[in-house]
Structures are given as structure tokens and as C-alpha cells.
Structure 1
Amino acid sequence: MHARRTTVTEERLTEDLLARLLAAASPKAYLDEGTTFDRSLSNYLHELLAAKGIKRAEVVRASGLNPTVVYDIFAGKSRPGRDNAIMLAFGVRCTLREAQRLLRLAGVAELWPKVRRDAIIAWCMDRGLTRTACDDELWRFGEKTLLGTNALR
């Protein structure tokens, strides 16, 4: 049995939940709190659109992804690869925290600040830059851009 539906803005931090789990007397005690839930990437994307008041067509334009790819991901027909998931996060205007959640739900690695390219992307996302501006930063540092340009070095 799953807990009530949690909205994007009220979701608890994973670190907080992990602390509660580890402090619980048993897994059942933690599970009985009702803090677990199943969420699909598609559902999360629709929640983000509703919360931000944007349309899928805007996501397509801002992400640089093929419209069919975006619509298939939103419909739950396909899962994006990592760069496509990052581009989608820029298209949906995700905060860094929302982007990390999107990447987890897509089943790909989160942005990791120990990796040069990831650090640049995370910095751009944290500052609310567009995917195009992020690609400019990646290019400036000689890293592979999201839209697919090879690294300069």
C-alpha cells in the first residue's frame, strides 16, 4: 500500500527519509509512516509542468530535443538517455534538486560535482540558465555540449 500522493513542492528530502528509516525500530515501522510512494518519470514531468505553468511545446523548444522524443517521454513510452534527460530538465526549467530527481526517475546517473562536465551543468542549472547557455559554458570549457557537439580537447 502506498501513501497519499505527494506534490513536487512538499516532497521530503531523501536524506531526511534515510535518517528516519535508519532510526526506525524496524522496516515495518518506517513503512507504516506512509512516506514511500511510487512515482513514474511521466507523472513527475506532468507535475512539474503543472507547478510551473508551462506547456510541452515550450519544453520542446527550450530543451532542443525532437518533439516526438519529448512526447514519448511524457507519455511514458520511452526513457531518455542521460544527456536527453538533462536537456529535458533544462526544458522544464528544473531547479538543480528537481533535475536530480528527474535524472533518478529516468534511471540515469545524477549530476556529480566531482565530474568536470557535470559540475558545469549543475552550476548552470543552479543559476537558472537555459540549455543553450549551458552548452555555451560547456563549449567554453572544452566539454561535450548537450546538443551533441564533441569535446574540444
Structure 2
Amino acid sequence: MRKSTQELLEVLKRSPSLKNFLIENEDDFADITLSEFINSFLSQKQLNKSEVIQSSNLTQVYGYKIFSGERIPQRDKVLCLAFGLKLNLDETQRMLKIAAAGALYPKVRRDSIIMFAIKEHTDLFTCNEMLYELGEDILE
């Protein structure tokens, strides 16, 4: 059974050797790419790439490059994809981690607004309206 993040952190803290830690815990490291993650949600939620790209407000070419793994998007584009994929907050946070884009943080005003929009299952357009009305940069 794979170690949880917290368990892995505890093992790392106690480990006297980084090399041994990496070897002994090889099976516990995240091994999914962003492309694999988002494509798994396509089939899981029975979504169409073209529709997800459109509802994420991405260009077709850029969107397909993300799905194929040719491009790694920046944080705002990952968040746009989260809305297009209709992800919940936990799924969105996981996708942000996989993309190495930094999780949403409730002490950041803009992030709190985005988290609320995700919690309420709004679309990207509605989230952007909320951000704009509250004086924050929209997701684009």
C-alpha cells in the first residue's frame, strides 16, 4: 500500500540519506502527468475534449497541446481547465499539485473567490464575473 503524503514526509524527515530515501520509497512518488490526469477525467466524466477546451476558454490548438502533454500550462490555465472539467475542490487542488502550479490558498483573496466558485459548481464565466466584480484579476 502506498504511503500517504504525511507518512512520506515523516519518513523523509527521519531519513539520514536522501539517496536511500528515494530508492526505498520509489513506489510512493506521484507518477501521473497532467496530461494523464486530465484525460482520465475526460473518460471518467464522459466529457468531450473539444467541449472542455471551449468551456475552459482555451484556444483549440493550445488546449489539444495540453491534453497531449506537449504543453504544461501556467496556474490560471490549469484553473480554467478545472472549470472545463467540472472538477470539485479536491480534484482541482490535486490537478494544481500535479501541474506544479501551487494549490489554491484560502488566505489569498483571489484564491478564496475561485475556491468558492468551484464549491458552488459555477462555470468559468460566472467565476470570472465574481472575480471582476470583486476587483480581482479574471482567469484567462
AA matched with 1:40: T
TM-score for both structures, normalised by structure 1:
0.77
Alignment root-mean-square deviation, CA:
2.4
Q: Aligned match of 1:91 in 84, 104, 109?
A: 84
Q: Which runs of 5+ in 2 are unaligned?
A: 16-20
Partner of residue 65, structure 2: 72
Indicate the percent of aligned positions where both proteins have the same amino acid: 33
* Structure of greater relative contact order (alpha carbons < 8 Å, 6+ residues apart): 2
Q: Aligned match of 1:31 in 25, 28, 32?
A: 25
Measured in 1, the distance between the counterparts of 2:111 and 2:119 equals 12
Deviation string, structure 1 residues 15-72 (Cα, Å, up to 9, x no partner): x7134332799758x738x544410000001111111110101111211111111100
Partner of residue 140, structure 1: 133
Partner of residue 18, structure 2: none
Measured in 2, the distance between the counterparts of 1:131 and 1:115 equals 19
Partner of residue 17, structure 1: 4
Measured in 2, the distance between the counterparts of 1:20 and 1:104 equals 18
Q: Aligned match of 1:120 in 98, 113, 127?
A: 113
AA matched with 1:142: G
Deviation string, structure 1 residues 78-116 (Cα, Å, up to 9, x no partner): 100111111011111111111111111222111111111
Measured in 2, the distance between the counterparts of 1:66 and 1:45 equals 17
Q: Which runs of 5+ in 1 are unaligned?
A: 4-11, 148-153
Deviation string, structure 1 residues 115-139 (Cα, Å, up to 9, x no partner): 1101100110111110001001101
AA matched with 2:5: L
AA matched with 1:79: I
AA matched with 1:120: I
Partner of residue 41, structure 1: 34
Partner of residue 55, structure 1: 48
